[in-house]
Amino acid sequence: MDIKKLGVWAFTDQYGAPQAAEFARKVEDWGYGALWYPEAVGRDSLVQAGWLLSNTKNLVVASGIANIFARDAQSSMAGANALNELSGGRFLLGLGVSHAPLVEAMRGHKYEKPLANMRDYLEAMHKAAYQAPPPPERSQVVLAALAPGMLKLSGELADGAHPYNVNPEHTREARALLGPDKLLCVEHKVVLETDADKARAAGRAVLDMYTKLPNYVNNWKRLGFSDEEITGMSDRFIDEFVAWGDENAIAARVQQHWEAGANHVCIQALQLDGKTVDEAALEKLAKRLA
């Protein structure tokens, strides 16, 4: 599997099925190595992957992330193997424990001991039976990992990590915890806009919901941001987690992640509303970062 150094992260549930397929083909044509998408209360993660894979030829499709409370370990392993067999090895399974509101209120599970639950889940995946034709290579798994414990587990029982809402400092720490040989696939939000006020307003619009989720807040605190900076979404906070400016400024932030140890950076390009995918920016950045 070749995910290349650069990928795209996008809320593909924004698109209807034909438009999602067209978007995936554009991402492939622009030269990105992988397309990442989330799982919340929209399409089932593995169903979405099947659709995107069937409409592309070489692009890696990666779940960022599939919620472990949405399917058991046997189903995740069978799904990853089936998708890789059917696509010639182009599916990367990103798994995560998600967040308490999505697990308890929406799915009816108890959100407790996330690290222990993930360890048990991975061990069950390693033991899972699979009697269909195998994929060309072993299916790979990366974890949505922020804190040191989950990052260490990513290196121990998975193939790497997929940190989200992080900066190059976190990437450097993650590489040290993962070791040199594991995948480190980092998401970073970008706004192709040189007006500081407009760009930061877009950053605040996209980060607002994450400032209410303890997993992200705790990680930002570990990185040295105060409660006031996070809840108030200070300029320093926004500038650290949403890269903005011209193509050169955004390319410089991506380069910082690579230099800090990331194998792969998936950029989430946003329009000024902070919600809509900026396809024009993705096309421009692909040419700049190629």
Q: What is the pLDDT of residue 108?
A: 63
pLDDT band per the 50, 70, 90 thresholds, residue 228: very high
Counting residues of the chain whose pLDDT is more than 90, the rounded percentage is: 91
Q: What is the pLDDT of residue 100?
A: 61
> Measuring CA to CA, how many Å separate 173 from each of 6, 145, 163, 222, 257?
20, 12, 11, 11, 11
Compute the average pLDDT of residues 194-202. Answer: 98
Query: Cα separation of 169 and 222, whole Å?
Result: 11
Beta strands in 130-235 (DSSP E): 141-143, 160-161, 183-191
Give which of 142, 250, 232, 278 is closest to 188, Cα–Cα: 250
- Give alpha helix (H) positions in 31-157: 45-54, 73-87, 100, 114-127, 148-157
Compute the average pLDDT of residues 252-279. Answer: 98
Residue 133 pLDDT > 90, yes or no?
yes
What is the residue-averaged pLDDT of the chain? 95
Contact predicate 172/258, CB 8 Å:
no
pTM attached to this predicted model: 0.95
Measured over the CA atoms of residue 221, residue 170, residue 145 and residue 276, the dihedral's sign is positive
Residue 107 pLDDT > 80, yes or no?
no
Q: How confident is the model over 48-70, as pLDDT tens digits?
A: 999 999 999 999 999 999 999 88
Compute the average pLDDT of residues 235-242. Answer: 98
Compute the average pLDDT of residues 173-193. Answer: 98
Compute the average pLDDT of residues 173-197. Answer: 98
Q: What is the pLDDT of residue 66?
A: 95
Q: What is the pLDDT of residue 15?
A: 98
Please report which helix (H) or strand (E) contains residue 216, including its range. Answer: helix 214-222
Q: How confident is the model over 31-42, as pLDDT tens digits?
A: 999 999 999 889
Provide CB contacts within 8 A for 253, sequence distance 6+. 168, 188, 190, 243
Query: Cα separation of 95 and 84, whole Å?
Result: 16
How is residue 181 annotated by DSSP? T
Q: How confident is the model over 74-99, as pLDDT tens digits?
A: 999 999 999 999 999 999 999 998 65
Contact predicate 3/58, CB 8 Å:
no
Residue 102 pLDDT > 70, yes or no?
no
Please report which helix (H) or strand (E) contains residue 222, including its range. Answer: helix 214-222
The residue whose two tokens read 């989720």 is 213
Residue 278 pLDDT > 60, yes or no?
yes
pLDDT band per the 50, 70, 90 thresholds, residue 271: very high
Residue 2 pLDDT > 70, yes or no?
yes
The crossing angle, in degrees rounded to 10, of helices 73-87 and 45-54 is 0
Contact predicate 259/194, CB 8 Å:
no
Q: What is the pLDDT of residue 254?
A: 98
Phi, psi of 220 (to 5 degrees): -65, -35
Compute the average pLDDT of residues 168-186. Answer: 98
Contact predicate 133/86, CB 8 Å:
no
Contact predicate 186/171, CB 8 Å:
yes
Counting residues of the chain whose pLDDT is more than 70, the rounded percentage is: 96
Query: Cα separation of 179 and 154, whole Å?
Result: 10
Compute the average pLDDT of residues 267-288. Answer: 97
Domains annotated on the chain, with CATH: 6-289 (3.20.20.30)
Q: What is the pLDDT of residue 111?
A: 65
Q: What is the pLDDT of residue 134?
A: 96
A 10 A CB-CB count for 111 gives 17
